[in-house]
Amino acid sequence: MKVYKFGGASVKEAAGVRNLAEIARGTEGRLFIIVSAMGKTTNALERVMESFWEGRTGEAVVAMQQVVDYHATILEGLWGEPHLPERVRGLYEELEEIITLSNPQSRSYEEWYDRIVSFGELISTTIVSEYLNYAGIGSHLLDMRRIFLTSNRFRDANIDIVSSTPRLKKAVELAQERVVVGQGFIGATEQGATTTIGREGSDYSAAVAGYILDAESVSIWKDVEGILNGDPKQFEDVSYIPELTYLDAIELAYSGAQIIHPKTIKPLQNKRIPLYVKCFVNPSLPGSVIKAEIDRPIDKPILILKKNQILLSIKPEDYSFILEERMAEIFKILESYRAKVHLVQNSAISMALCIDSTRYLDEIVEEFHKAGFTVKYNSDMELLTIRGYHKEHLVQYAEAEGVYMTQRSRKVLRIIRKTNVE
């Protein structure tokens, strides 16, 4: 059994779906395929959600129509004429019913978000599975909401691997077809409420599936040659890294490299399942592999830019010593708003934290005030991490304008700077 994951960019148009089918056709043995929402559908559904939540039903319907039109183009490209599979039509009806007939106040923002945004993956996998069948590759479609049991932490749910294991094993065993297709990114609580596991989380879904099914490998198909030592849109002279250890990969992902979701590595490392990052435009390229032991250690600096950061500076009003006693308090507040902390630096009475931008910033600041802290913050920040940095990087980046803070070990240089300083 192999597990393949196709991200939004790889199925953003009909050609990509056709390509997926050819890759599936060319793979021997059983195959479990995890698919994300097509192209930028998740963002489009976030707009549907916003309008729905604000009670602007008309706007929500218009935003939903854009999603429908976008998929209609892909469907037409695949079938050569307008085509709407019954199961896809059913999904559209279900979504429309939610946004036109439900009362937003009846559930939390997060719960509605998951209900609505999950349609991206439900639609994409239905189209992919229908198309595989049409192309003569028998496929079985799973509804991962019946497979992955998660916590009820909406928008950031955790998959309960133990209780999901028998469900996935059984579903794959029962499927007659060689190829099984399932949604990335989504699951459900024990009560059956739809959940999502965090933006870009499909990689993690694929890793968990690989773990449960004892896959021989997991491959993430992307629109790049493999893993590069920097995002070519942001840095010059980037080049390809053929092999990485699980540890390299986890550090990279944690620093914000967009290549794989940070949670992906652990389940694979635990069962020593290799993870391939493959180029779907040219499947014959070797891609990059992440595994326990590698023959060619990374020999170049890796640059990772994490955007949309906020730099918080927190001080206790009474100048009480910030360490031990109050650190736990600070993190508890951040955790309760699910703030993602990426860097911490502290002095005797202050603590600076770099967090992902969040819609709860005002609430977080308010909580800190209540707990007796003064807070200052800068939004529009970004975090640059350079692993294996050289002296030149210090001059070029650390001493540049717009830098608010640096942190440096022998191997890693981290810089918090104002966005768009270059």
Nearer to ligand ASP, 263 or 326 (CB): 263
256 binds ligand ASP (CB under 6 A): no
Nearer to ligand ASP, 10 or 309 (CB): 10
Shortest CB 36 distance to ligand ASP, Å: 3
196 binds Mg ion (CB under 5 A): no
What residue 273 binds from ligand ASP, Mg ion, none (CB within 5 to 8 A, per partner kind)? Answer: none
Nearer to ligand ASP, 204 or 368 (CB): 204
385 binds ligand ASP (CB under 6 A): no
Stretch that binds ligand ASP, among 36-44, 53-61, 71-79, 130-138 (CB under 6 A): 36-44
Stretch that binds ligand ASP, among 199-207, 274-282, 292-300, 403-411 (CB under 6 A): 199-207
Nearer to Mg ion, 19 or 36 (CB): 36
Among 3, 4, 8, 132, binds Mg ion (CB under 5 A): 8
Shortest CB 204 distance to Mg ion, Å: 12
42 binds ligand ASP (CB under 6 A): yes
Nearest Cα to Cα of residue 204 among 262, 287, 154: 262
Compute how many residues bind Mg ion; rule: CB under 5 A.
Answer: 2
Q: For residues 120 and 129, what is the distance between their CA atoms, to the nearest angstrom?
A: 14
Among 19, 36, 51, 194, binds ligand ASP (CB under 6 A): 36
Which x/- pattern, by CB under 6 A, does the window 324-353 give for ligand ASP? ------------------------------
Cα angle, residue 357 at apex, residues 312 and 418 outer, rounded to 5°: 65
Shortest CB 252 distance to Mg ion, Å: 19
Nearer to ligand ASP, 131 or 185 (CB): 185
Compute how many residues bind ligand ASP; rule: CB under 6 A.
Answer: 12
Among 10, 19, 36, 255, binds Mg ion (CB under 5 A): 36
37 binds ligand ASP (CB under 6 A): yes
Shortest CB 149 distance to ligand ASP, Å: 19
Shortest CB 169 distance to ligand ASP, Å: 23
Site for Mg ion, rule CB under 5 A: 8, 36
Residue numbers of the site for ligand ASP (CB under 6 A)? 7-8, 36-37, 42, 120, 184-185, 199-202
